[in-house]
Amino acid sequence: MRAPARAGSAGLVAAAACLGLITSCGGDGGTARPEPSVPPATGHAYTAAYEAGWREGKRIFEDGGKGAAVREVVWGGCVRRSLTARPGDVVDKDRGAWVLGCMQGAGSGADRHPPTGPVTRRAPDPALLGRFRSWAAAHGERQSARHARRVVLVHLGTRDYDVELACTCTAKSAQADVRGLADAFVTWWDGDDGDGTAWNLIVTDPTGRRLFTRALG
C-alpha cells in the first residue's frame, strides 16, 4: 500500500494525457490576482472544502501550467498540500473534497465537477495495527510500537488515502517517542504492497490532534 515509484519521462507523457480525465473523477507567494469566479457555497462542509481546493488548484495551474498539474494530480501534490491548506477549519471537515477540487482546478483549469456528498471516508483497520505490532515485535521495535493504539485509513477519493495512526503520546510527550513510532511504521509500510496509493502517515494524540506527519513510500 505504499506510493508507487515516481514515473520517468514516459510516465510523464502518459500522466499528462490523463489529466483531462481528472475533471470527471470523483501560500500564495506571487503578485495578488483576482480570485476565480465560483458559484456561492451552499453551506455543506464538503462544498466549502471543494471550493477552497478548486481555487488553490486554479492558482497552481496559472502559476505552473501542465507541469505543475502533473505534479499535483499524479504525484500527490494536492494530497500533500491538503495537510497544511488554509483555512484549516474548512479543509479538515472534508479533506477529500478539498483534494478533489485542487486536482480539478490544477488538472484542466476549466471544468468543475463538485461532489454531491462528503468525499472523505474514514475506515478503522485493527488488522493493520495487529500486523504492525507483530512486525515490530519481531524486528526490535516493540518499544516504539507500544504507543500505537489505532489505525484509520483516511480515504480521500477512489484511490488516494492517508494512514492515521493514533497513539498514547500527547503534545507534552517526548518528541522522540512520536518520531520513533513514525519511523518504525514507515519502515514496516515500505515493504507492504496493496491497492490504492497511500501518501502520508499522520500520527495523532488520543483526541485526534495531529502531532506529526511523514510521507509514505
By the 10 Å C-beta count (0-12 exposed, 13-18 middle, 19+ buried), 156 is classed as: buried
pTM higher than 0.85:
no
Q: Which residue has the higher pLDDT, 26 or 177?
A: 177
Q: Give pLDDT, residue 191.
A: 62
Q: Give pLDDT, residue 71.
A: 85
Q: Give pLDDT, residue 29.
A: 37
Mean pLDDT of 94-113: 88
For residues 78 and 91, give the distance between their C-alpha atoms in angstroms, rounded to a whole number.
12
Q: Give pLDDT, residue 75.
A: 86
For residues 177 and 169, give the distance between their C-alpha atoms in angstroms, rounded to a whole number.
7
Whether residue 97 has pLDDT greater than 70: yes
Cell numbers linked to 106:
490544477
Q: Give pLDDT, residue 17.
A: 38
Whether residue 153 has pLDDT greater than 70: yes
pLDDT tens track for 15-47: 333 344 343 333 333 333 334 444 444 469 999
Residue whose C-alpha cell reads 470527471 in the numeric block: 24
Q: Give pLDDT, residue 15.
A: 38
Q: Which residue has the higher pLDDT, 181 or 12?
A: 181
Q: Give pLDDT, residue 5.
A: 38
Q: Give pLDDT, residue 110.
A: 63
By the 10 Å C-beta count (0-12 exposed, 13-18 middle, 19+ buried), 72 is classed as: buried
